[in-house]
Amino acid sequence: MESGVMFHRTHGNRRTGKKEFEISDEYVKLQGKSQGIVVINFRASKKDLTDIYEFFDDVDDMEPVTMNIANTGDIEHYFKGISSISKEDESGTYKFSVTMQTLRKSV
């Protein structure tokens, strides 16, 4: 995974049991917010987006999710929520977003 994004869930998906999912960086855009909140926007064809969505659709609120961008190291987050899939334009591109908060550990 040189330019992709790897997500790792603490608990596997209830339907598939899948704990890890690698996504090409061409489908992912990160948007930083205040207080460690990160919104991850996904854009792709409906088929590709459906696979990504299924990985996140049953993550529990506050479940730890690790994100590794281009093999730079794991960053731990708490899952905060997921939007529904919507059509972005007439070219067949769809989108949804996942909100996570950076896990802060007390020292």
More confident of the two residues 3 and 53: 53
How far apart CA 67 and CA 74 sit, in angstroms, is: 6
How much is the pLDDT for 13? 76
More confident of the two residues 73 and 18: 73
State how many domains the chain has: 1
Residue 107, pLDDT above cutoff 70: no
Max alpha carbon distance in the chain (Å)? 50
Assess if residue 23 is contained within a domain.
Answer: yes
Assess if residue 107 is contained within a domain.
Answer: no
How much is the pLDDT for 83? 96
Is the alpha carbon torsion for 84, 52, 58, 72 positive or negative?
negative
Q: Which two tokens stand for residue 52?
A: 């990504």
How much is the pLDDT for 2? 65
% of the chain at pLDDT higher than 70: 94
Q: Which range marks the domain in which residue 85 is found? A: 4-102
Residue 53, pLDDT above cutoff 80: yes
Q: Using alpha carbons, list the distances in angstroms from residue 74 to 14, 41, 50, 80.
A: 23, 19, 24, 18
How much is the pLDDT for 76? 94
How much is the pLDDT for 16? 79
CATH number at residue 45: 2.40.30
The number of beta carbons lying within 10 Å of the beta carbon of residue 28 is 19
How much is the pLDDT for 12? 78
Residue 15, pLDDT above cutoff 90: no
